[in-house]
């Protein structure tokens, strides 16, 4: 269904269901996504897929390929983070015999392997800056030069890139070239976390039960109503892959034909906690000077540190918004009422 498959690094590692499964796009959000995919697939435009881990980025890339006029051509997938800086270029562009120590034979790269088809560059944010320059040139000139060669080879490849990190942040931090970012970000495709597309959960569960039931030769399974509630309440930080693994495991441990909440063996994680971790990743708090400042503040005991920090935060946001409460509340991600209470507590408004 997907044309010729070339997968990397190890085809066996890729979940079988990627190739075998029907796609589930049941939630209204997912249906909108599917409509977008159908619209962009026939074009040759570079697609840039963003989504947290396990949200289906590779599956969506394969779907775009299978719906395009290149469907009979190859689909090559390469994880840019899987290679050392020195190897990644020869993987992408190939090399001639003797191009470097150890290059005993010539080898074609992934661009050439994908000729006439689609090249999926996964974790593109992991490419070293020097390779980013070369990639940009390849995309502009539509030809590659193998390492150790001078002869350019024309290539006809549709590129699909994916990341689960914030590339904009990487551009700001100087880790990703801005010009390459704009080259790639022609058609952005954003995949929502599973907990934000609740309508997909049950169809996915049924789908995975069917897939694994056949594979494990287990009986037809029913879901206990409490299991169903739990599946909808759990925040799924690992998204669809976590759901798939959970169902697989549950079918292995379930000895009857009703799946009970205990069979899912889900850890106790609150949705709030997952959201906070994701936000902090999005804001890249790790590199944020705030943490250093806090650490300095903790060096000595301050009786009123909490109020001091809150006061600074609220007042600065309020001033930054020219005393506009709606604006300040938005900046802080709180409601106007909460902001007003704080402003009153600090004696800033009556």
Ligand X SMILES: Nc1ncnc2c1ncn2[C@@H]1O[C@H](COP(=O)(O)OP(=O)(O)OP(=O)(O)O)[C@@H](O)[C@H]1O
- Positions touching ligand X (CB under 6 A) are 15, 17-18, 21, 23-25, 51, 53-59, 164, 207, 240-241, 244
DSSP tag of 259: E
- For the CB of residue 340, give the shortest distance to Mg ion in the complex, in Å: 45
Residues 33, 323: Cα–Cα separation, whole Å: 39
- Partner in contact with 264, chosen from ligand X, Mg ion, none, beta carbon below 5 to 8 Å by kind: none
In this complex, which beta carbon is closest to ligand X, that of residue 34 or of residue 230? 34
Q: Judged by CB, which is closer to Mg ion: 7, or 90?
A: 7
Q: Is 192 helix (H, G, I), strand (E, B) or coil?
A: coil
Ranked by CB distance to ligand X, the top (closest) residue is 56
- Decide whether 112 or 122 has the Cβ nearer to ligand X: 122
Selected from 27, 52, 58, 244, the binder of Mg ion by CB under 5 A is: 58
Give which of ligand X, Mg ion, none residue 83 binds (C-beta under 5 to 8 Å, depending on kind): none
Residues in 38-57 that interact with Mg ion by CB under 5 A = 57
CB atoms within 10 A of CB 235: 20
Cβ proximity to Mg ion: between 2 and 346 the closer is 2
Of the two residues 89 and 244, which places its CB atom closer to ligand X in the complex?
Answer: 244
Q: Which residues in 301-340 contact Mg ion (CB under 5 A)?
A: none
Does the footprint of Mg ion cover residue 200 (CB under 5 A)? no
| Residue 54 binding: pick among Mg ion, ligand X, none (C-beta 5-8 Å cut-off by kind) | ligand X
Q: Let me know the angle formed at the C-alpha of 68 by 65 and 70, rounded to the nearest 5 degrees.
A: 80
Inter-CA distances, 216 with 9, 209, 243, 248, Å: 26, 10, 17, 9
> From the CB of 25, what's the least distance to ligand X, in Å?
6
278 token code pair: 């994701």
Residue reference for tokens 């070339």: 6
Q: What is the largest CA-CA distance in the chain?
A: 79
User: Residue 167 — φ and ψ, nearest 5°?
Assistant: -65, -30
C-beta of 36: minimal distance to Mg ion in Å?
A: 19
Helices marked H in 148-304: 167-172, 178-184, 201-216, 225-233, 239-253, 261-264, 271-283, 289-298
The entry of ligand X, Mg ion, none near residue 117 (CB within 5 to 8 angstroms by kind) is none
Binding residues for Mg ion, per CB under 5 A?
57-58
């Amino acid at each position: 269904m997907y044309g010729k498959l070339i997968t990397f690094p190890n085809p066996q590692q890729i979940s079988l269901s990627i190739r075998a499964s029907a796609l589930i796009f049941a939630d209204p959000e997912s249906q909108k996504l599917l409509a977008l995919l159908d619209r962009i697939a026939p074009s040759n435009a570079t697609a840039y897929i963003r989504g947290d881990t396990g949200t289906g980025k590779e599956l969506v890339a394969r779907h775009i390929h299978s719906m395009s006029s290149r469907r009979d051509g190859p689909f090559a997938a390469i994880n840019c983070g899987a290679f050392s800086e020195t190897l990644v270029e020869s993987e992408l562009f190939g090399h001639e015999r003797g191009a470097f120590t150890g290059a005993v034979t010539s080898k074609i790269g992934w661009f050439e392997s994908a000729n006439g088809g689609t090249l999926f560059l996964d974790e593109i944010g992991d490419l070293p800056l020097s390779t980013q320059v070369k990639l940009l040139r390849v995309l502009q000139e539509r030809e590659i030069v193998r390492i150790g060669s001078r002869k350019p080879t024309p290539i006809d490849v549709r590129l699909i890139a994916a990341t689960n990190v914030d590339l904009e942040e990487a551009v700001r931090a100087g880790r990703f070239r801005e010009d390459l970012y704009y080259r790639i970000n022609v058609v952005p495709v954003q995949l929502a976390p599973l907990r934000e597309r609740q309508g997909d959960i049950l169809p996915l569960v049924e789908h995975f039960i069917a897939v694994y039931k056949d594979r494990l030769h287990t009986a037809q399974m029913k879901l206990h109503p409490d299991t169903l509630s739990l599946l909808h309440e759990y925040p799924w930080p690992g998204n669809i892959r976590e759901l798939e693994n959970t169902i697989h495991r549950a079918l292995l441990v379930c000895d009857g034909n009703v799946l009970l909440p205990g069979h899912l063996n889900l850890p106790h994680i609150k949705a709030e906690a997952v959201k906070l971790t994701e936000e902090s990743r999005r804001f890249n708090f790790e590199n944020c000077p705030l943490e250093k400042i806090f650490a300095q503040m903790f060096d000595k005991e301050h009786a009123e540190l909490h109020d001091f920090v809150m006061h600074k935060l609220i007042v600065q946001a309020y001033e930054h918004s020219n005393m506009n409460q709606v604006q300040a509340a938005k900046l802080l991600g709180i409601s106007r009422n909460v902001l007003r209470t704080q402003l009153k507590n600090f004696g800033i408004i009556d």
